[in-house]
């Protein structure tokens, strides 16, 4: 007779679910060992006994600018304060109380201190109209004794940038991704379907057969007779029953793996290796030479 409780208790849940969890644990263990082997084989040099000796470094050579590019300074004329004078009003000067004979578009900006002394004169516009013979006249109502003369700034050629070949040693572990795979979640779905099939059959067969044999004879006063009756009865009954129990299992496992954060200890090692990255002058580098540089 079908007993659902008995059938359910006969299912090896511990092996089915436990086997799936063991597989996940083993996968996590294999992932950890993969990380260890990666760090040992890729990130460090080992001696003949397999002991870690030192990190593996990658050398990079690059040109480093040791002197910046200086653009060309064209020849130019400007006004130079020879005598500062006293009592000048800055607003009055910057309002146009000056004259530069022989020019039309020259605009100047004056700087005056608290004593009314002119400390600087800047050419804001029209510098190309100035020459060695240019003079400045102040047409002011305030101030006196200032003397401003023309001066020349010689042309300075452009100076190209100077480069030096440098070598940078970088630990390999700091520039390659380290595999830290972690199983974030595991979902196990187990479906068990039990089907019970119970069939029975019964058949009955009865067979009855008979025969009669009768006769008579006369002998003197009495008559004699006889009757023979033969009968047979057979009965046969057949019954059968079968019970079939089918069990269907469905196991669905969902595993979500992620790239885990670098462990604290490994992170500290990487920090130390990064601090050791220092550019050095290449051993075979020639003396610094000027190289053409373009302005951006």
Cβ density class 20-54: b for 16+ within 10 Å, e for less? beeeeeeebeebeeebeebbeeebbeeeeeeeeee
Strand partners, 208: 233
User: 10 Å Cβ neighbour count for 248?
Assistant: 9
Residue 200 backbone zone (phi > 0: left; psi -120 to 50: alpha; other: beta): beta
Kindly report the pTM of this predicted structure.
Answer: 0.44
Dist. CA 7–CA 193, nearest whole Å: 11
For the ranges 84-98, 100-114, 136-150, 171-185, the lowest mean pLDDT is seen at: 171-185
Dist. CA 195–CA 247, nearest whole Å: 6
**Could you give the angle at the alpha carbon of 226 between the alpha carbons of 220 and 232, nearest 5°?**
175
The reported pLDDT for the residue numbered 273 is 74
Residues 251-258: what's their mean pLDDT?
A: 76
Domain residue limits, the chain: 4-55+181-259, 76-153
Fold of 76-153: Thrombin, subunit H (2.40.10)
Strand partners, 202: 239
Dist. CA 122–CA 149, nearest whole Å: 12
Query: Which residue, 73, 62, 69, 66, is CA-closest to 293?
Result: 69
pLDDT tens digits, residue range 64-120? 888 999 999 999 999 999 999 999 999 999 999 999 999 989 999 999 999 999 999
Checking if the pLDDT of 217 tops 70, the result is: no
pLDDT tens digits, residue range 194-207? 666 656 566 666 55
Query: Which residue, 2, 11, 10, is CA-closest to 196?
Result: 2
Q: What's the distance, Cα to Cα, between the start and end of the chain in Å? A: 93
Are the C-beta atoms of residues 134 and 80 closer than 8 Å to each other? no
Dist. CA 151–CA 158, nearest whole Å: 22
Cα dihedral 20, 23, 28, 31, rounded to 10, equals: -140
The reported pLDDT for the residue numbered 132 is 92
Checking if the pLDDT of 291 tops 70, the result is: no
Query: Which residue, 57, 54, 278, is CA-closest to 168?
Result: 278
For the ranges 17-21, 26-30, 219-223, 270-274, the lowest mean pLDDT is seen at: 219-223
Residues 30-51: what's their mean pLDDT?
A: 84
Dist. CA 164–CA 65, nearest whole Å: 6
* 295 band by pLDDT with thresholds 50, 70 and 90: very low
pLDDT tens digits, residue range 1-16? 556 666 666 677 777 7
User: Is pLDDT larger for residue 166 or for residue 6?
Assistant: 166
What SS3 string covers the chain? Answer: CCCHHHHHHCCCHHHHHHHHHHHHHHHHHHHHHHHHHHHHHHHEEECCCCCEEEECEEEEEEEEEEECCECCECCEEEEEEEECCECCCHHHHHCCCEECCCCCCCEEEEEECCCCCEEEEEEEECHHHCCCCCCCEECCCCCECCEEEEEEECCECCECEEEEEEEEEEEHHHCCCCCCEEEEEEEEEEEEEEEEEEEEEEEEEEEEEEEEEEEEEEECCEEEEEEEEEEEEEEEEEEEEEEEEEEEEEEEEEEEEEECCCCHHHHHHHHHHHHCCCEEECCCCCCCEEECCCCC
């Amino acid at each position: 007779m079908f007993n659902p409780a008995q059938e359910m208790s006969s299912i090896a849940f511990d092996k089915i679910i436990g086997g799936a969890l063991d597989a996940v644990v083993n996968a996590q263990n294999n992932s950890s060992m993969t990380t260890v082997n990666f760090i040992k084989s890729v990130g460090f040099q080992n001696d003949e006994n397999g002991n870690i000796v030192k990190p593996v470094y990658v050398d990079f050579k690059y040109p480093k600018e040791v002197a910046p590019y200086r653009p060309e300074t064209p020849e130019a004329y400007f006004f130079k304060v020879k005598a500062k004078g006293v009592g000048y009003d800055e607003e009055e000067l910057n309002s146009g109380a000056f004259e530069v004979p022989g020019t039309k578009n020259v605009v100047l900006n004056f700087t005056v201190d608290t004593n009314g002394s002119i400390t600087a004169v800047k050419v804001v516009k029209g510098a190309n109209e100035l020459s060695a013979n240019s003079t400045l006249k102040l047409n002011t109502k305030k101030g006196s004794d200032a003397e401003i003369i023309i001066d020349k700034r010689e042309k300075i050629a452009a100076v190209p940038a100077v480069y030096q070949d440098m070598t940078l040693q970088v630990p390999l572990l700091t520039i390659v991704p380290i595999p830290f795979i972690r199983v974030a979640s595991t979902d196990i779905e187990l479906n068990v379907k039990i089907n019970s099939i119970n069939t029975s059959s019964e058949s009955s067969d009865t067979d009855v057969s008979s025969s009669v044999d009768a006769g008579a004879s006369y002998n003197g006063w009495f008559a004699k007779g006889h009757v023979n009756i033969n009968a047979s009865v057979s009965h046969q009954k057949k019954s059968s029953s079968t019970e079939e129990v089918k069990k269907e299992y469905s196991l669905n496992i969902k595993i979500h793996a992620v790239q885990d954060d670098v462990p604290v200890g490994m992170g500290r090692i990487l920090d130390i290796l990064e601090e050791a990255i220092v550019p050095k002058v290449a051993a075979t580098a020639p003396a610094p030479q000027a190289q053409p540089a373009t302005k951006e």
